[in-house]
A and B are shown apart, each in its own frame.
Chain A
Amino acid sequence: MGEAIVITSGKGGVGKTTTSANIGTALALQGKQVCLLDTDIGLRNLDVVMGLENRIIYDLVDVMEERCKVQQALIRDKRFECLHLLPAAQTKDKSAVTPEQMAAVVNELKPEYDYLIIDCPAGIEQGFRNAISGADQAIVVTTPDTSAVRDADRIIGLVEQEDIPSPKLIVNRVRKQTKNGEEDLLDVDDVASTLAIDLLGIVFDDENVLRAAHKGKPVATTPNTSSSLAYRNIARRILGESVPLLSVETKKGFFAKVKNLLGLQA
């Protein structure tokens, strides 16, 4: 029986879809059976990031309205046998499905896979309710800026009301410290202490991510970029390994602080 993990954030544009694609790919790299579920009905992107948009015949809404079997709608990834995608519909909107229907699809898929990665739409409305309904776990993605953290805080509050364990945190687009004393963004440990949930990983701001998404090839497949390493580390942590966080190079003592944070929850 697999585990369904929902990737959510509240705010749009912080990297939910990128994170979903890369965590899914990284888990597949580890040899796990993975299914990516795009629940952003009407504004689907996950297929584009994965480079699979040309292969879509049936989608999530077709499955729910029983125009096809769930196996017919699944798209196999070009690179990995064990990575599948269930795309969202582009012609409908979020109100086309209910949380019950979504939970039914998730429960149908769960026995077939090790991990189900559910990509949640932005916002706290119907789309969020749908995405969270079948999940066993949640990962909250945020960037180190005030408004993203505020929205992440709100979404964590909502996730905590559901019947699933406390969500895990990924801080995306962290900038390496360039000059001393330059503090235009929040510290990762500030973010983690404000939100007060376990830190699953940090991903550095890396233009390779954009480049890879443009090519329809998740960055996690490239060997030597900081972001691909970060995503692969996150996948290993999901699998239960303990992997230390990547260091923010220049600022002294920072790594120790974050490691300390991780050590607290281990």
Chain B
Amino acid sequence: MKTEFSKQLVTIKGTKDGLVIRLDDHCAYADLLEELQTKMKENMIGEEQDKDVHIAVHVGTRYVDEKQRGEITSAIEQSGAISVDEITSDVITMTQALKMKEEKQIHSYTCLVRSGQVLSVKGDLLILGDVNPGGTIEATGDVYVLGTLKGKARAGTEGDEDAVIAASVLAPSQLMIADRLYLSEATREQQESESMHMGPRYASIEEEKEEMVFHNMSSLAALRSRRQKAID
């Protein structure tokens, strides 16, 4: 039951980025959905749209789960002329927050990863020690090894192509960043003696060539700031 008619649960606003629907975050969800449905029906019926209107939805400090997101989207899109770009909320669940925290963290291990051992983390991985041939390390973010990397390393296991693999002595048997694979062609001896003199290096995916390249650590800062700019 709506006591105050003047207080609207659904407001549509035009901003410089386009139309935004703001949904009240204090009322019951059922009331909100009902008003949204009627409002969209009233406003849209009979209107001829030339092109699709894209709209963003903001739900304030209300948590909406996947099912509710679907309901909101279908309520708005019922007229057919509008499509919902995104539904943003100011709150997330504890599980999401912990996952996010884990993914942003550097997990550091002081150990020697031996043949047959697998070390896998979410987030960035820092190893203080060597990775011997036959050992495997994996991270969803970057991989850093303060020691000799002779085994296998995988960075960006969930598809992050910007991830890098860095090591004091980079002499891997196999590297993988996102889904890009690098197999060492050199013989073991060649590789070990060469990379011993190279000093710390990192591997990343070269955007133009779409293949893995090795660089000195000094150019990592430049790469990072270039990518940061590209995001901004």
Which of B112, B116, B117 meets A196, CB within 8 Å? B112
| Alpha-carbon distance between A146 and B130 when the two chains are bound, in angstroms | 17
Instruction: Tell me if A's interface is mostly helix, strand, loop or mixed.
Output: helix
Give the contact stretch, choosing among A115-123, A151-159, A208-216.
A151-159
B106-141 CB mask vs A (1 if < 8 Å, else 0) is: 000000101111000000000000101111000000
| Alpha-carbon distance between A146 and B133 when the two chains are bound, in angstroms | 10
Residues of A near B135 (CB, < 8 A) are 153
| Alpha-carbon distance between A61 and B88 when the two chains are bound, in angstroms | 70
Are B188's CB and A153's CB within 8 A?
no
6 nearest CB pairs, A to B: A157-B114, A153-B115, A154-B115, A154-B116, A153-B114, A153-B132
B178-222 CB mask vs A (1 if < 8 Å, else 0) is: 000000000010000000000000000000000000000000000
Residues of A near B112 (CB, < 8 A) are 196
Are B188's CB and A146's CB within 8 A?
yes
| Alpha-carbon distance between A194 and B171 when the two chains are bound, in angstroms | 13
The number of chain B residues touching the other chain, given as a range, is 10 to 19
Which of A153, A158, A196 meets B134, CB within 8 Å? A153
Q: Is the C-beta of A150 less than 8 angstroms from some C-beta in chain B?
A: yes
Residues of B near A194 (CB, < 8 A) are 130, 132
Residue of B132, B133, B135 most packed against chain A (CB within 10 A): B132
| Alpha-carbon distance between A158 and B117 when the two chains are bound, in angstroms | 9
Can you offer 11 A-B residue contacts whose CB atoms are under 8 A?
Answer: A150-B133, A151-B115, A153-B114, A153-B116, A153-B132, A153-B134, A154-B115, A154-B116, A156-B114, A194-B132, A196-B112
Query: A218 CB to closest chain B CB, in angstroms?
Result: 31
Residues of A near B133 (CB, < 8 A) are 150, 153
Are B188's CB and A157's CB within 8 A?
no
Within 8 A of B (CB), among A129-164: 146, 150-151, 153-154, 156-158
Query: B111 CB to closest chain A CB, in angstroms?
Result: 10
Which of A146, A150, A151, A157 meets B117, CB within 8 Å? A157
| Alpha-carbon distance between A154 and B133 when the two chains are bound, in angstroms | 10
Residue ID in chain A nearest B192 by CB atoms: A190
Residue ID in chain B nearest A197 by CB atoms: B112
Residue ID in chain A nearest B114 by CB atoms: A157
Are A150's CB and B134's CB within 8 A?
yes
Residues of B near A154 (CB, < 8 A) are 114-116, 134
Query: B28 CB to closest chain A CB, in angstroms?
Result: 55
**Known pairs A153-B133, A154-B115 / 18 extra A-B pairs, C-beta < 8 Å:** A146-B188, A150-B134, A151-B115, A153-B114, A153-B116, A153-B132, A153-B134, A153-B135, A154-B114, A154-B116, A154-B134, A156-B114, A157-B114, A157-B116, A157-B117, A158-B116, A194-B130, A196-B130
